[in-house]
């Protein structure tokens, strides 16, 4: 039986993407112990997608992966790194961008290259903005993504302890944007 090859395109977020992405967020943004959707966090991310500044007054620039019908199937955002990331990587905040909110539809989560294409586009966008590095952190809720970041980044840089609450450490990575 022939398999359908997924054609993925990457573009900046447009307003009509948010509803589709909100459903994708609900599949991923869940409590580590109960599995329930963390609605306040979903709504915060939706706000960032709409242009609201985050807690450090940064605006996140979202890229969206679309299927061959133009439907949003994933997203990633970049912005200036937060103050903890700047300290952790001992970097000048102007020379780095931080990756945020990397989510892919469960239907396309593994094996279709959606995450890789989003990450490569985020790197291209970061480099075009003058950054030398892209930095990433991922907390305990997203350990399934850690192997992905091990593959796409140059190096793993330990943990930021208690980044997401008591005992909830964030693993970190960096990639040089050549």
pLDDT tens for 156-167 read: 999 999 999 999
Strands (E), the chain: 9-12, 61-66, 72-79, 96-104, 133-138, 155-160, 170-176
- Supply 3's token pair: 């398999």
Superfamily in which the 9-176 domain is placed by CATH: Gcn5-related N-acetyltransferase (GNAT) (3.40.630.30)
Instruction: Look up residue 144 and give its DSSP letter.
Output: G
Residue 14: alpha-carbon gap to chain centroid: 17
What is the average pLDDT across 109-113?
Answer: 71
Whole-number Å distance between alpha carbons of 63 and 108: 16
| Nearest one of 104, 56, 46, 47 to 79, comparing CA atoms | 56
- Supply 46's token pair: 């939706």
* Higher pLDDT among residues 106 and 121, named by residue: 121
Q: What is the CA radius of gyration of the chain?
A: 16
Instruction: Give the start-to-end residue ranges of the domains of the chain.
Output: 9-176
What is the per-residue pLDDT for 110?
65
Structure confidence by residue, pLDDT tens digits, 113-126: 899 999 999 999 99
């Amino acid at each position: 039986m022939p398999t359908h090859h997924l054609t993925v395109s990457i573009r900046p977020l447009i307003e009509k993407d948010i509803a589709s992405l909100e459903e994708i967020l609900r599949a991923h943004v869940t409590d580590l112990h109960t599995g329930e959707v963390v609605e306040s966090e979903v709504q915060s991310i939706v706000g960032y997608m709409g242009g609201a500044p985050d807690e450090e007054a940064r605006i996140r620039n979202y890229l969206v992966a679309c299927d061959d019908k133009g439907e949003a199937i994933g997203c990633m955002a970049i912005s200036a790194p937060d103050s903890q990331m700047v300290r952790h990587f001992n970097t000048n905040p102007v020379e780095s961008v931080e990756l945020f909110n990397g989510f892919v539809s469960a239907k396309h989560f593994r094996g279709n290259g959606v995450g890789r294409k989003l990450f490569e586009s985020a790197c291209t966008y970061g480099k075009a903005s003058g950054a030398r590095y892209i930095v990433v952190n991922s907390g305990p809720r997203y350990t399934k993504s850690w192997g992905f970041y091990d593959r796409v980044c140059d190096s793993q840089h330990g943990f930021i302890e208690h980044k997401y609450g008591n005992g909830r450490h964030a693993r970190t990575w960096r990639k040089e944007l050549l």
